[in-house]
Structure 1
């Protein structure tokens, strides 16, 4: 289509012909459009819409972090109490061992399940296991806690692989949309998530401290039923919050997430076995595994051994809540700090070194039987030890997740599955075999594994440090 430009100029000079001018202008614009672009908008996208696309990744991490906080403040407090509340025939400790054995087993197939379900659906289904486990504690016995522990092992495997996959995908999308350094964004997102998540120990155990009390005459603890009912209400809000997460339609390789109808069982299992085999054949993963195993060992030590043999004899069962609240507070603070300082393998190595040193101090003090038995100072000393353990856990969880997100870009689900397999296998071993060995033997094993895993991790830093460390990092 053509039009008379002189006529266009004449009309443009006559104010009374505005309507006709607009028609000619529209015809002119249409005539200059390429074929097939008739529906192309004439006005560019609104800036607010562009900013919304850039910021919704951060919003998803805020929602994910808060949802995990609400769910795990209940589970974490319930877990801390198992070795002290359910002592008959070691019910509490044994069922925790079953839980983490189930967790380990199902972690082998967790990456496949997450790919089939999608990361958001995996998070939603995973939440149901934690609700059922806390509900089982209203009537704790072998017929309620054992089935709940087995089912929770499955749910835990998919919720944690789903979390790692979802968070890493959001971080990569955020770095791309905002032209930021990927390693720095992964570090920041992990720092925020693990800082908020670590508060579950602080808030959950403060609730425990407020609602539980020791019955000195009967030698029991009052308020357990009310405590678990309160926890169930809180977990329900966390599950509802999960529903507001945006679905992420691509996995870590940038391909469409598989659905049950899209891929056959044989092909999916073949993909799973190839994924796990490639992860185990990767030298980087082999060098990280000892540190992963230690991270699981130190968590199990805090949940079972530290609360039973250090906290309870010093300040009683009701003191478990206050000591674990201190543990959670330091865990959260240093998770956030470690995340903000993360930019690559060099910074991760430095931060991990500091965290392991803090935990080594605790292990040495306990091995030397150093204690303060006098009233307030004795309580402060227990809180100090709990705080140092929290610092180490916050650092390890933040940095391990950031490290896997940075180093394993081509199989994020498989790498996070490996993280949970080795962590949970170690935790299960502790819960099953710790009652068979002395407390000092556990301390010696922990200190030995700490030193060994740190040396292997330094070897990783020397081997791939030059290729993994960024020259410059742009912070969010």
Structure 2
């Protein structure tokens, strides 16, 4: 996404608006399917090999999000190679870039056809695919709505919304207000490639360390702390400087923010998979709804508020969402203890 903000591509509202609506609609279906399938596969694997379910869900999410985050590293390097010859906005160059992306998408679609169907015998509450499409859609809508009456979902929604906020902050504000003044427009690709690299490494590591609610709480706490440090650093200390430090500081911030994003991606998906095994489609639908809504809020507000105000919003959102998340963990642990 950063790539299209960095290099200008000829467009009009008549093409961009319909394309954005279509991409948003398609992405929502893909992401709900991804979260549901990945969790179902993890549960099936845990059952087949008699291993701890929470550990497998954590590892599977770590592997997936590690690979997914690497697209930011590889994609930015490809863009630098294709577009970094000084002919910014060249039609031939942007066409070549789109051909590369289209080829990657086609390969992914072909590989998806080889995914095997998981049979959980109804243990995960998935819709019965033997029934009609209408019944399946109605069942899914009921599942999504019913989660609004589940206190666990209400307590995890603020952290989901924050995860969308922090991603949009990096894409919109951080690249514009921190990276571009220090490194120039051409440096955005390099900074975001570093962000993606640390995002991928952290996703893999966090997934390996996930085994249940306790580990998720500890990992999320670490991610919240390091992102708060970056926000406070920019708000209170950071000033644009020249020389080596002027280059190192934005790159270091990008790496730290990438670590935080890796934490939230892996842990939120693992948390939903563990807590809502009977309403997975509804839970992952909620995840994308709130992440997408909060991301849109940042992009709408970005032109109208200053960087300092945005940082204050991020700090307040982080504090509130983390506090509510801790309340969730205490409630779930208490419920678990009462059943023991």
- Normalising by structure 1, we get a TM-score of 0.66
Q: 1:243 aligns with which of 105, 113, 119?
A: 113
SS in structure 1 of the partner of residue 287 of structure 2: helix
CA distance in 2, matches of 1:248, 1:289: 28
Q: 2:72 aligns with which of 201, 205, 213?
A: 201
CA distance in 1, matches of 2:303, 2:3: 16
Write the mapping of 1:35-50 to structure 2, written as runs, cut at 5 A.
none
CA distance in 2, matches of 1:204, 1:251: 39
Question: CA 1:334 to 1:254, structure 2 compared with 1: closer, same or farther past 3 Å?
Answer: closer
Q: 1:289 aligns with which of 157, 162, 168?
A: 157
Q: Does 1:311 align with 2:179?
A: yes
Q: Does 1:351 align with 2:273?
A: no
SS in structure 1 of the partner of residue 208 of structure 2: helix
Maintained 8 Å contact 1:372/1:381: no
Tell me which residue corresponds to 2:3. 81
Tell me which residue corresponds to 2:51. 180
CA distance in 1, matches of 2:113, 2:242: 50
Maintained 8 Å contact 1:202/1:328: yes
How far off its partner does 1:231 sit?
2.0
SS in structure 1 of the partner of residue 157 of structure 2: helix
How far off its partner does 1:275 sit?
1.1
How far off its partner does 1:372 sit?
5.2
Tell me which residue corresponds to 1:12. none
Write the mapping of 1:453-464 to structure 2, written as runs, cut at 5 A.
453-464=321-332
Alpha-carbon deviations, 1:263-299, whole Å to 9, x = none?
A: 363x445423431222111111111010000000001
Maintained 8 Å contact 2:167/2:261: yes
How far off its partner does 1:344 sit?
0.8
Tell me which residue corresponds to 2:99. 229
CA distance in 1, matches of 2:85, 2:316: 37
Maintained 8 Å contact 1:214/1:221: no
Tell me which residue corresponds to 2:318. 450
Tell me which residue corresponds to 2:28. 157
Alpha-carbon deviations, 1:424-443, whole Å to 9, x = none?
A: 11011111222121122111
Tell me which residue corresponds to 1:404. 272
| Greater RCO, 1 or 2 (C-alpha within 8 Å, sep 6+) | 2
Q: 1:431 aligns with which of 299, 303, 319?
A: 299
CA distance in 2, matches of 1:392, 1:440: 20
Q: Does 1:332 align with 2:203?
A: no
RMSD in angstroms over aligned alpha carbons? 2.2
Q: Does 1:278 align with 2:180?
A: no
Q: Does 1:144 align with 2:144?
A: no
Greater shift, 243-252 or 151-160, is seen at: 243-252
CA distance in 1, matches of 2:125, 2:307: 49
- Normalising by structure 2, we get a TM-score of 0.92
Question: CA 1:211 to 1:429, structure 2 compared with 1: closer, same or farther past 3 Å?
Answer: same
CA distance in 2, matches of 1:273, 1:230: 37
Question: CA 1:252 to 1:189, structure 2 compared with 1: closer, same or farther past 3 Å?
Answer: farther
Maintained 8 Å contact 1:300/1:430: yes
Maintained 8 Å contact 1:199/1:331: yes
Alpha-carbon deviations, 1:120-163, whole Å to 9, x = none?
A: xxxxxxxxxxxxxxxxx5x5322222211111111100110000
Q: 1:189 aligns with which of 60, 76, 79?
A: 60
CA distance in 2, matches of 1:325, 1:251: 42
CA distance in 2, matches of 1:154, 1:250: 28
Unpaired runs of 5+ residues, structure 2, are: none
Aligned length in residues: 335
Question: CA 1:231 to 1:277, structure 2 compared with 1: closer, same or farther past 3 Å?
Answer: closer
Bigger Rg, structure 1 or 2: 1
